[in-house]
């Protein structure tokens, strides 16, 4: 048995200073402003809603061993230990909440390689992530836990220029932040969701001049624990879809390289990004954001080894699209056409 051992550690120090003031219309005038007959110059007085100072310190340690049991079989086992300290000061309520947590996350995997061009694998892992913020009582949220299972196959051409992966996966999360069913405008760490689907990607060189990147994902993301969105009065039963997650999405990028006798290089390429329909408001299955396809163009020219020019055009067709939303009243428009030209010179 041959061992490939990986040992590592990481840490972070995080500070979030947040102040939010707001005004909400009365029940007698829920819209606040009559857009058909607005009255100018009458600004409402905003009051304090959130004023917190949060500090997190975390350290992580991990060890992993990939064991080559034979030429065809490989087994991976690893574990990660995380510890974090959180200090959250609510300046409005003059309350300080402290908590520290330690979590152990295992990881296992098995790979079978019947040939040099084909491998089949399966893996299982757990995850841990602190939640930032506090609930209506001023208490810091419990951390988020996750688990994921994946099986798939990896294919590689004989010349190792092209590689592809097909995978089936299921991921679950608990203690996700969700709307507080009692206190409007606040959240609680009680949400549970599941995402499962299929992913396919292909990358590499078709020949000496052409390269390709292709990715496709079929995703089914849903709620696995019933809850109530008190902000909009929606009941969210088990099986409700998560917002802003398309069932189908895909990316394609093709690139062509040209070489000249003097050593100059020219590269021209283009790409397509497709995002399918997706739920745009929690609890309202009829409100769907429309699917869209974006075109991108790119090119680069290097007359010498030191000098190069790069041109990128995103959303080349200047398509109007909506990548995400919070609700029907909060829909984010996509970026219009953007052109970027970069010039780079290397002195050495």
Asked whether residue 288 carries a pLDDT value surpassing 90, the answer given is yes
- For residue range 191-246, what is the model confidence (pLDDT) as tens digits? 788 999 999 999 999 998 999 999 999 999 998 887 666 555 666 778 888 889 99
**Residue 182 and residue 230 in contact, taking contact as beta carbons nearer than 8 Å:** yes
C-alpha distances in Å from residue 67, one per residue of 72, 73, 105, 110, 284: 11, 9, 19, 10, 49
- For residue range 134-180, what is the model confidence (pLDDT) as tens digits? 777 777 788 889 999 999 999 999 998 999 999 999 999 988 776 66
* Nearest by Cα to 184 from 229, 132, 235, 138: 229
pTM (predicted TM-score): 0.80
List the alpha helices (DSSP H) in the chain. none
Q: Whole-angstrom distance between the N-terminal and C-terminal Cα of the chain?
A: 46
Q: State the pLDDT confidence band at 31, using cuts at 50, 70 and 90.
A: low
């Amino acid at each position: 048995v041959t061992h490939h051992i990986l040992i590592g550690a990481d840490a972070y120090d995080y500070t979030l200073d947040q102040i939010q003031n707001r005004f909400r219309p009365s029940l007698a005038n829920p819209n606040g402003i009559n857009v058909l007959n607005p009255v100018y110059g009458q600004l409402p007085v905003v009051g304090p809603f959130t004023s917190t100072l949060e500090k997190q310190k975390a350290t992580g340690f991990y060890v992993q061993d990939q064991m080559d049991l034979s030429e065809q079989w490989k087994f991976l086992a690893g574990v990660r230990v995380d510890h974090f300290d959180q200090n959250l000061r609510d300046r409005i309520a003059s309350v300080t909440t402290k908590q520290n947590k330690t979590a152990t996350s295992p990881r296992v995997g098995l790979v079978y390689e019947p040939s040099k061009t084909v491998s089949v694998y399966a893996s299982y892992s757990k995850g841990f992530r602190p939640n930032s913020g506090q609930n209506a009582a001023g208490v810091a949220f419990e951390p988020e836990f996750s688990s994921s299972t994946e099986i798939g196959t990896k294919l590689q051409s004989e010349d190792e220029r092209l590689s592809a992966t097909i995978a089936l996966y299921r991921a679950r999360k608990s203690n996700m932040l969700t709307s507080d069913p009692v206190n409007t405008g606040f959240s609680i760490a009680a949400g549970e969701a599941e995402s499962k689907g299929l992913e396919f990607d292909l990358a590499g060189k078709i020949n000496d001049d052409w390269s390709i990147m292709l990715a496709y994902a079929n995703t089914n993301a849903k709620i696995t624990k019933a809850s109530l969105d008190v902000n909009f009065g929606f009941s969210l039963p088990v099986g409700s879809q998560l917002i802003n997650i398309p069932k189908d999405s895909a990316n394609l990028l093709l690139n062509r390289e040209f070489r000249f006798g003097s050593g100059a290089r020219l590269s021209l390429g283009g790409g397509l990004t497709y995002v399918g329909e997706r739920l745009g408001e929690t609890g309202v299955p009829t409100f769907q954001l429309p699917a869209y396809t974006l075109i991108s163009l790119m090119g680069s020219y290097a007359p010498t080894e030191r000098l190069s020019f790069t041109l990128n055009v995103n959303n080349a067709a200047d398509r109007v699209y909506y990548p995400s939303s919070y609700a029907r009243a909060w829909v984010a428009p996509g970026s219009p056409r953007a052109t970027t030209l970069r010039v780079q010179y290397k002195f050495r």
